[in-house]
Amino acid sequence: MDHLPLWAQICAIFVLLICSSFFSISETAMMALNRHRLKYLANHGALGAKTTQKLLARTDLLLSVILIGNNLFNTIIPVLTTSIALHTFGHDNLVLSIATGIVAFLIIVFAEITPKIVGATFPEKIALPASLLIAPLMRVTKPVIWFVNMFANGILRVLHINTSKANEQRLSTEELRTIVLESGSFMPTKHRSILLNLFDLENITVDDVMIPRRRIEALDYDAPLEDILHQLETCYHNKLVVYQGDIDRVLGVLHVRKTLAALHNQDFERETLRELLAEPYFVPTGTPVFQQLQYFQESRHRIALVVNEYGEMEGLVTPEDIIEELIGEFTTTMPRSGTGRGGWNDQGECIVPGSMPLRELNRWLHIKLPTDGPKTLNGLILEVLEEIPEGDVCVQIGDVKLEVLRSDDQAVRTVKLFKPGTKPNKGAGALQKAKKLLPGR
């Protein structure tokens, strides 16, 4: 290149730096590209997306052409710079050292660090257009790539490294959860909440979502006919569990509306009521919620009675109870005292029964009481205090303060909760304090 003017040789160096930076930025962008996002773009016909997919399907060939091109230009640049220095300043060791340092600085900054930072920051915007240039270049240089890869693959075989399984990317549930959590403004809050609840569905059982035994509205078959008819006319639910004498002796499930329609056209008799009963559907405690939802779909039942190992009924679960775990509460029979948003009143307080399930309470009041132990608020308070409180007691569990308003010899009946971040009133401050950490949590 001695016959070229000095300015042309300097321009050639900058052109070579640009070519080298192209391979550096392409390498980083290709490797940093989100494969799932790329698949979405390819399915929607984005320019260069399918080409990029094909290149990434053979990472060995892609890296070979990129690294060959990058190192080729990075080798030519010092040779050309040395030639310019010798031609211009002669054989001066100091000049050669300075020229070498300048070239190394230019390569590191303009052909390595800067392009790779940009490629990692904007992988999608760079990788897709770059693939349109790299793909034909790969076809042209295929013999060279084959020759180089022959040695590289030989070394991998000697080291017993199998690269075929590396392309099989699988995301675990926790990784998917992290993706959803980090979606930020890209996904509405409600949608993100539903997806997170869906992941939790594998870890909870019917015991966590069922209506406990004491809260089940059931019909006693042996009750007076007038009481039965009155309960049918005033009950909130469309289906009632019918038992005889004791709730563990379940006779069946009664469809209230159909029963009232049938009784309207004939005399009300006990045997007529029995003929209208549907077979009860029992499930054992500990059944995973997601599995139970599939059972509901297959059996077409709308009510499942949860029984323990002794055949005693523990509670009742419906598809609505499971769906509420996903999308939040939309039906309820629980009378609530909170008048403010989310159940809190203007003072940041809420009064609830001690029998209220913790998962329902967390969902309703947007708090985080632990749910990996007791299932109800009463059970949680008793676990913390390790006794049934005889008088008014204040307890703090996590960041939630609770005041026991009413209790008896068997359980805590009524509890006042204070919204996290608010201070209890003076009356609550004068009560006995009991702040304990839950064991093992």
Q: 268, 301, 327: which is the final residue of a domain?
A: 327
Q: 167, 188, 219: which is the final residue of a domain?
A: 167
pLDDT score for 238: 86
Residue 409, CB-side half-sphere exposure with 13 Å CA sphere:
0
**Average pLDDT of each block of 10 consecutive residues along the chain (441 residues)?**
72 90 92 86 88 88 90 88 79 80 89 92 92 91 86 83 63 76 74 80 84 88 87 86 90 87 71 86 91 88 90 90 78 45 78 85 85 85 85 83 86 88 56 43 44
The reported pTM is 0.58
**Rounded to whole angstroms, how far apart are CA atoms 170 and 177?**
14
Q: Do 373 and 264 belong together in one domain?
A: no
Sheet containing strand 239-244, edge to edge, reads 218-220, 239-244, 246-255
CB 338 within 8 A of CB 350: yes
**Rounded to whole angstroms, how far apart are CA atoms 173 and 300?**
29
Q: Do 353 and 280 belong together in one domain?
A: no
Residue 297, CB-side half-sphere exposure with 13 Å CA sphere:
8
Which CATH number is 419's domain given? 3.30.465.10
Alpha-carbon distance values, 248 to 41, 245, 309, 318, 340 (Å): 57, 9, 13, 18, 39
**Rounded to whole angstroms, how far apart are CA atoms 299 and 297?**
6
Which CATH number is 284's domain given? 3.10.580.10
Classify burial at 429, counting beta carbons within 10 Å of its beta carbon; exposed 0-12, middle 13-18, buried 19 or more.
exposed
Q: Which two tokens mark 58?
A: 């053979």
Residue 401 covered by a domain: yes
Classify burial at 82, counting beta carbons within 10 Å of its beta carbon; exposed 0-12, middle 13-18, buried 19 or more.
middle
CB 384 within 8 A of CB 425: no
Q: Do 280 and 320 belong together in one domain?
A: yes
**Rounded to whole angstroms, how far apart are CA atoms 110 and 70?**
12
pLDDT score for 159: 84
Residue 190 covered by a domain: no
**End-to-end alpha-carbon separation of the chain, Å?**
74
- Rounded to 5 degrees, φ, ψ at 294 are -65, -35
Residue 198 covered by a domain: no
Q: Do 148 and 217 belong together in one domain?
A: no
**Rounded to whole angstroms, how far apart are CA atoms 100 and 122?**
32
Q: Do 42 and 160 belong together in one domain?
A: yes
Cα angle 90, 92, 98; round to 5:
110
pLDDT score for 136: 92
Strands 400-407 and 239-244: unpaired
Number of domains composing the chain:
3
Residue 36 covered by a domain: yes
Residue span of the structural domain in which 130 resides: 6-167
Q: CB within 8 A of 384, min separation 6: which ones?
A: 395, 397, 434, 436, 438
Q: Do 323 and 347 belong together in one domain?
A: no
Cα angle 357, 360, 366; round to 5:
130
**Rounded to whole angstroms, how far apart are CA atoms 60 and 153?**
9
**Buried-state track 235-245, b at ≥16 Cβ within 10 A, e below 16:** beeebbbbbee
Residue 185 covered by a domain: no
